[in-house]
Amino acid sequence: MMSTLEQKLRNFIDWCENGTDPRSKDWPLIQTPWVTYGAVVAYLIIVWQGPKFMAKRKPFDLRQFMILYNAFLVVLSAYMFQLFLRSAWPRPGFSWACAKMDYSDDPSAVMLAKACWWFFFSKLIEFMDTFIFILRKKNNQISFLHVYHHTTMPMLWWIGVKWVPGGQAFFSAMINCFVHTVMYGYYLLAAMGPRVQPFLWWKKYITSLQLAQFVIVMIQTILSLYIDCGYPRIVLYALAVYMVSHIILFGNFFNKTYRQPRTKAAASKEVNGQTNEVSNGYVLRKRQHTRLDS
């Protein structure tokens, strides 16, 4: 038993040392982890110190910047989505149920690897989401879920682009790009001001779409583990655990943001209705009593 575990550990170490993708190893930001992981540390420091820096300052008016920023991310997300889609379909021998890693120079395989790099890079750009909250003093929106998602994605995807930029990695990234196209489209409209507010009733459905995304990716990952097409299983296990964490966190967010307020509002309405009924009854009795006295 011990020798088997030891052998698996050695095989994993050998894979880490020798299994990097030769196509991506010299791409920007991929040569060394220190730039990406250093950026994550800097991000966390800004999240920690930023609100303190802004505490005695007026919030910035970033409306014009937010319009440009969100429009850029809509275009970038849509661009990445079509890259992932074109690299995976239609493609002979490429399975959406379980796609093995292809390290060849096949044009579709290279396109998929480049799409993975763009996806990784976009997660560094999305640090700006948090910086906008800080500068606008919207600190209530900097939740644990928000910071957890924004710190883990670039770190995990650096690993993905370094070792496995392709194969089964396409599915979760492609779905996420679609969701982000919708999400940043909403943020773009919201940044345009009060005149479009009546058309933003669909905000809660974005969270539902995000939750659906994690459930779909979770199911597809379990299917890939069952089929076992040769894609590194440890990556799939890690993805499954990561999806579980997001389902829990986003589910909790959805419950607190949409279900609990509705329940409280219904309870409040019922209590207010009973109070009004009692109050109206008291007024009616008082009027009746007054009329009798007269």
Max intra-chain CA distance, the chain: 101
Whole-number average pLDDT of the chain: 87
Which candidate, 119, 106, 103, 108, places its Cα nearest to that of 86?
A: 108
CB 216 within 8 A of CB 175: yes
| pTM of the predicted model over 0.95 | no
Number of residues that this document lists for the chain: 294
What residue type is 143 in one-letter code?
A: S
Work out the average pLDDT over 215-226: 96
Pairwise CA distance, residues 210 & 17, whole Å: 35
Q: Is pLDDT at 240 greater than 90 in this prediction? A: yes
Would you tell me how many other CB atoms lie within 10 Å of the CB of residue 112? 26
Cis? peptide before 90, omega within 30° of 0: yes
Nearest in space to 150 (alpha carbons), one of 118, 178, 125: 125
**What does the block give as tokens for 139?**
């600190």
- For the stretch 241-291, pLDDT in tens is 999 999 999 999 988 888 776 665 555 555 455 445 444 443 333 333 333
| For range 213-220, the mean pLDDT | 96
* Active-site option among 149, 150, 180, 246: 149
149 is catalytic: yes
Task: Read off the pLDDT band of 10 (50, 70, 90).
Answer: confident
Digit-coded pLDDT (tens) for 169-198 = 999 999 999 999 999 999 999 999 888 888
CB count in 10 Å sphere of residue 190: 16
Contact 152, 43 (CB under 8 A): no
- How many other C-beta atoms are found inside a 10 Å radius of the C-beta of residue 199? 10
- Please write the tens of the pLDDT for every residue from 22-42: 999 899 999 999 999 999 999
pLDDT score at 93: 83
Q: Which two three-digit tokens encode residue 188?
A: 């773009």
pLDDT tens digit string along 120-177? 999 999 999 999 999 999 999 999 999 999 999 999 999 999 999 999 999 999 999 9
Given a cut of 80, whether residue 97 has pLDDT beyond it is yes
90: part of which helix (H) or strand (E)? none
Give me 120's structure tokens. Answer: 């990784």
